[in-house]
Amino acid sequence: MNRQNAHIVVIGAGVGGLSAAALLAQSGHRVTVLEAQTYPGGCAGTFYHQGFRFDAGATVAGGFQPNGPHTLIGKRLGIEWPVRRAKVAWAVHLPEQHIDVTDDREDVLRQFPQSAEFWNEQAIVADLSWSLAARGLPWPPADAMELLTLARTGLSQFPRDLRLLPLACLSAAHWLRRYGLDRDPAFRRFIDGQLIISAQTTSSDANALYSATALDLPRQGVYHAVGGMGAIAETLAE
């Protein structure tokens, strides 16, 4: 079979499936997207009920920063995304604290000044992750072959950052322990709340490298989709 003439079927009209389908179609492939729901987007979709629109799951989005994945795909496809940046990524309510999480983390550092060194390292690790992702390299690597590919074509360009590799074998909880932050129940709860949103687990089970990127969403920018989260998938579908 001529792979260029292959008819490709994408299962699921989530943002990932629609992005892949749109890029394949732009490359000249015949593409069919199959979706069980009556609306696109999956957990990042928006549905109608009794004349109102409701988000199916996620209510804010990331990846629209300069060189972010949605920005890169949008440029390639000629898409103008219907999004606007939120000044406050999210507000965290703890039993005795209220924290506004913004891109400069001003309120976070004011209330948790002992965490400054942790956030400095988090930003370094996250910048590396975003850079690798922008190059289309597998991150985090899923198997030995992807790890080899990463070592050959990715980390060879970042010799200064090889010291960060040990984080690949640590949980976020162990990472916090390096800075003595695991002994602060309020800060641990603050981190766990954010990881539940962006990594779907807490610091005890989240990988440290993955957590660095998951915790980076406020710094990179969180966005509201005009018309509901489903507007992102609807734009891709069109």
Name which residue leads in pLDDT, 136 or 55: 55
Same domain for 228 and 205: no
Q: So what's the pLDDT on residue 86? A: 94
Residue 156 has pLDDT above 90, yes or no: no
One domain, residues 38 and 100: no
For residues 137-159, average pLDDT = 66
Q: What angle do CA 33, 85, 102 make, to 5 degrees?
A: 125
Check: CB of residue 138 under 8 Å from CB of residue 149: yes
Q: Are residues 138 and 51 in the same domain?
A: no
3-state secondary structure 86-138: CCCCEEEEECCEEEEECCCCHHHHHHCHHHHHHHHHHHHHHHHHHHHHHCCCC
**Mind giving me the DSSP string for 139-173?**
SS--SHHHHHHHHHHTGGG-GGGGGGGGGGGSBHH
The closest alpha carbon to 119, from 131, 137, 133, 107, belongs to: 107
Chain mean pLDDT for the chain: 89
With beta carbons less than 8 A apart as the criterion, state whether 60 and 234 touch.
no
Question: What pLDDT, in 10s, does the model give residues 176-206?
Answer: 999 999 999 999 999 999 999 899 999 999 9
Number of domains in the chain: 2
Inform me whether the pLDDT recorded for 17 exceeds 80. Answer: yes
Same domain (yes/no): 68, 113: no
pLDDT score for 3: 62
Q: What is the CATH number of the domain that holds 50?
A: 3.50.50.60
Residue 109 sits in the same domain as residue 192? yes
User: Residue 157 pLDDT > 80, yes or no?
Assistant: no
Say what the pLDDT of residue 75 is: 96
- Is residue 119 located within the same domain as residue 49? no
Per-residue pLDDT, 40: 95
Based on the domain organization, do 79 and 119 belong to the same domain?
A: no
Q: Are residues 182 and 230 in the same domain?
A: no
DSSP symbol at 60: S
Cα–Cα separations (whole angstroms), residue 117 to 121, 175, 180: 6, 12, 11
| Mean pLDDT, residues 5-34 taken together | 94
Q: What is the pTM of this model?
A: 0.80
Kindly state the average pLDDT of the residues 18-31: 94
Q: What pLDDT digit, counting tens, does each position of 214-226 carry?
A: 999 999 999 999 9
Instruction: State whether 41 and 142 are in the same domain.
Output: no
Answer whether residue 158 shows pLDDT above 60.
no
- On whether both 169 and 65 belong to a single domain, the answer is no
Residue 131, pLDDT score: 78
Three-state SS at 62 = coil
| pLDDT per position as a tens digit, 86-106 | 999 999 999 999 999 999 999
- Domain, as residue range, for 7: 3-85+224-237
Residues 195 and 232 grouped into a single domain: no
Residues 211, 229 within the same domain: no
Q: Which residues neighbour 37 within 8 Å (Cβ) at sequence distance 6 or greater?
A: 13, 45, 47
Task: Tell me: pLDDT of 108 over 90.
Answer: yes
For residue 128, the model assigns a pLDDT of: 82
